[in-house]
Amino acid sequence: MRLLFARPWRFVRGMATVADLPFATGGLEVAFAGRSNVGKSSLINALTGQSGLARTSNTPGRTQELNLFVPERDAGLALVDMPGYGYAEAPKDKVDVWNDLIRAYLRGRPNLRRVYVLIDARHGVKKNDEEVMTLLDKAAVSYQVVLTKTDKLKPGGTATVLAATIEAIRKRPAAYPEVIATSSEKGAGLDDLRAAIAAILA
């Protein structure tokens, strides 16, 4: 685990359509999905220890493509930063294109081993999140929920949100039963997430 995330990572390219994805990405892929501004790019930067790897923005909808990242030395793994779903400061037709891209990728990527569905701990599971999880359930794509921004909660708040989230996914067939609580800013939960990703390669 330490070696996997200690090595330098690099941005490969952004892809506006599923057809743009390379057939060989160095092996397995894990993807990060979530509502706009949930902190996907910040989490990828924190996981890899590279603050400028994935572009971050306070403007929802900044990530408009599937962004692919791989280690400098092949480790058989690629990370995919997906466009945020739900609210975005963009015309509806453009948002629809992003959402179609997300659905096409999740349904049709054979080397996708797990999707990490990021949930803002301050807001909990929303309707958009439920729709994506239902899509993953139907496509039989394994996913695990990751709470973000737990440092923004009051003391004791993380345990409450964790319990509610675990209950929300309890009967979902493709959901991994454990929920990981993280803070990109404080580093909380990052080792747990790194270990979960490394276990997929094992």
Residue 28, C-beta contacts closer than 8 angstroms, at least 6 positions apart = 76, 77, 78, 111, 112, 113, 200, 201
CB 84 within 8 A of CB 34: yes
* Residue with tokens 């590279």, as numbered in its chain: 50
Strands (E), the chain: 9-15, 28-34, 66-71, 77-81, 112-120, 143-148, 180-181
> For residue 81, what are the β-bridge partners?
32, 67
Structural domains of the chain ordered from first start: 2-201 (3.40.50.300)
Angle between helices 190-201 and 40-48 (to 10 degrees): 80
pLDDT (tens digit, 9 = 90+) per residue, 149-186? 999 999 999 999 999 999 999 999 999 999 999 999 99
Q: Taking all residues of the chain, what is their mean pLDDT, rounded to a whole number?
A: 87
pLDDT (tens digit per residue) in 52-69? 898 875 554 455 788 999
pLDDT tops 80 at residue 5: yes
φ/ψ (deg, to 5) at 73:
-105, 130
- Look at residue 32 in the predicted model and tell me its pLDDT: 96
Instruction: Report residue 90's pLDDT band, with 50, 70 and 90 as the boundaries.
Output: low
| pLDDT per residue as tens digits for the range 12-45 | 888 888 778 776 545 899 999 999 889 999 999 9
